[in-house]
Amino acid sequence: MKNLKRQWKFIVVLIAGAVGLISQFALHSKSLFSIGNLQFPVHAIIIDIIGILMAISLLLEIFHDWKTGRYGVDILAVIAVVSTILIGDVWAEWMILVMMTGGETLEDYATGQANKELRALLDKTPRIANKLVDGKITEVKVDDLQVGDTVLIKPGQQVPVDGQIVKGTSSFDQSSLTGESVPVTKNPGDELMSGSVNGDVAVEMKVTKAAKDSEYQSIVALVKSSQAQPAKFVKMADRYAIPFTVISLIIGGVAWAVSGDATRFAEVMVVASPCPLLIAAPVALVSGMSSMSAHHIIVKSGPTLEKLARAKTFAFDKTGTLTENQLIVDQVVTDDKSFDQKELPSLAASVEQQSSHVIASSLVKATDKDLIHPVTNLKETTAQGVEGDVDGKHVKVGKLSFVAPGHEKLNVTSTAVYVSVDGKFAGYITLKDKMRPESPKTIERLRRQGAEDIMMLTGDHKQVAEKVAKEAGITDVRSELLPSQKIQAIKDVPKHLRPVVITGDGVNDAPSLTAADVGIAMGAKGATAASESADAVIMVNDISKVNDAVAISKHTMKVANIDVLTAIGVVIIIELIAFTGVIPAFWGAILQEVVDMITISLGLLAKTKPSDKQFGLEEK
């Protein structure tokens, strides 16, 4: 709404100028009245009214900013407008209004983002549950469930609220909550989190938490809370506001005192109008955002570039971010010398080829097709494993307790499937998340780009997380985290290691993305709650784009700073010339236009390619 209001200001100023021109030159408007030496023709009244309203609006914004401890250059714009009104230089006043409101509009374009952050998340929130009453199923609203109710969760359905299994065993996909890529088997007595998805077997669950207190609904609340309390960040131009304002007022005040003419003060204030300062950063930011788009990165707000350029801490989710959300065979360990490294996976994959389980499909995919043989007498034991006959051998694949009772003391920390042949334990196959090939290089380059701390935040098991982190080159590993714990980890980052940037791809990452100073979503697979909640979205399946985002941001902010400082230097020089009285207010406004053009031209340099050092391609 605020952005729309500012755009309307710009439109109103343009309309007022057009009406004023028609009134003055086409209709030859005459003065309606005069005060002293000041004449007030129709076009002057129109533009003065707009100028007064804009000045009042700006003063209210300035007052609000002052209450929040922020000091900007807008006060000079107010002084410039009021000065031109008092000396009766209408078109100088109008040009100041055009550049002032035009700069605001351009800034809004650079920093505005769509109001869709929660849509994807809210669409997936469980709404209907199958409540069991005297053995009969009744569909009820999730919000109507009470603690103690019994709910039936059918295969493929989402768990509506937090609860505890009272009947049945099934596997549950918790990736949307924890990021863990492997479904977890749940038995009677085990806890279920809302938002997890049931596998192949219906189970009955006792409700332990009402909807408003359950895990998935808490994620929605966390996103809302994070958005309601955005991190404070000072706009770049405002850092120069106080010294620039003081210098300009001193020059104008001395000019007035020396000449004894208030017009001289107004002439200095016209050229001191902060339009170039207001427009420098937005133009550079728009250019930088355009460069981001060319690199398949969508940035939703201008200040995101500034934060990325200064970022000191980078956090990554594991599954789907550092890894490809796909399991690959890690080790083949045989317990019987009669089986080699190829035969054991061949037998296991042959039995698993008809299963849709993540581990089974990953094992089959990792095995040479020529080594997968027909299976007969196939039988599946729910949540335990499968068995069948392959090449005359009876093969069992699955949990250790199912495959080889008595071997439970075997300590394997990785995700594994166990195999027995003709009733004899044959060995096991471990699987791991497939690392993105570009992940280690991305982490290395981030350090070259100035990252002081890089951490992994994941809901996966400690051993799995540490193994992936070691391969990626990350030493700061936080594992087995729920969404709220990820947010706390971000909040705990000390001030001297901020801003914090986090990259993720799942629903469980949405709160973290909004809580961090900058949230980057891997959005190649389409719009998700993560990409809706992020400040930037990588539109291709390539995590090294994080390096590109940092490089472009650093380059953009370097250009923007040079642009702002150049604008300040040029404006102060023109102020000193106006001090002598050789620049009337109108021509001062024209010179402002020249400075604006210089500012815009410099800002467009942000579209040029960053240096190899900014890309992290050079050794530090």
Task: For residue 269, count other CB atoms closer than 10 A to its CB.
Answer: 30
Give the gyration radius of the chain's Cα atoms: 33
Strands (E), 200-269: 203-207
Cα 585 to Cα 79: distance, rounded to the nearest angstrom? 13
Decide: residue 491, CB within 10 A, 0-12 exposed, 13-18 middle, 19+ buried.
exposed
CA-CA distances (angstroms) from residue 424 to 39, 331, 349, 404?
A: 106, 20, 18, 7
DSSP state of 369: G
Token couple for 265:
């003060």
Pair 238, 71: CB distance under 8 Å = yes
Distance CA 579, CA 52 (A): 26
- Separation CA 79–CA 71 (nearest Å): 15
Q: Are 529 and 120 in contact (CB under 8 A)?
A: yes
Cβ atoms 193, 177 nearer than 8 A: yes
**Pairwise CA distance, residues 143 & 217, whole Å:** 10
* Inter-residue contact 49 to 71 (CB < 8 Å): no
Q: What does the alpha-carbon distance between residue 177 and residue 507 come to, in Å, rounded to a whole number?
A: 7
Non-local (6+) Cβ contacts of 439 within 8 A are 322, 323, 471, 472, 543
Cis status of the peptide bond prior to 499, with omega within 30 of 0: yes
Measured CA to CA, the distance from residue 227 to residue 570 in angstroms comes to: 39
Active site residues: 317
Contact 257, 274 (CB under 8 A): no
Q: Distance between CA atoms of 17 and 44, rounded to whole angstroms?
A: 10
Q: How many Å apart are CA 558 and CA 569, to the nearest integer? A: 17
Which segments within 351-509 are labelled E, that is strand?
A: 376-381, 385-390, 393-398, 415-421, 424-435, 453-457, 476-478, 500-504
148 burial (CB, 10 Å; 0-12 / 13-18 / 19+) is exposed
CB of 220 closer than 8 Å to CB of 127: no
Is the bond leading into 437 cis (omega within 30 degrees of zero)? no
**How far is residue 420's CA from residue 402's CA, in Å, rounded to a whole number?**
10
129 contact partners, CB below 8 Å, separation of at least 6: 139, 140, 141, 142, 145, 151, 160, 161
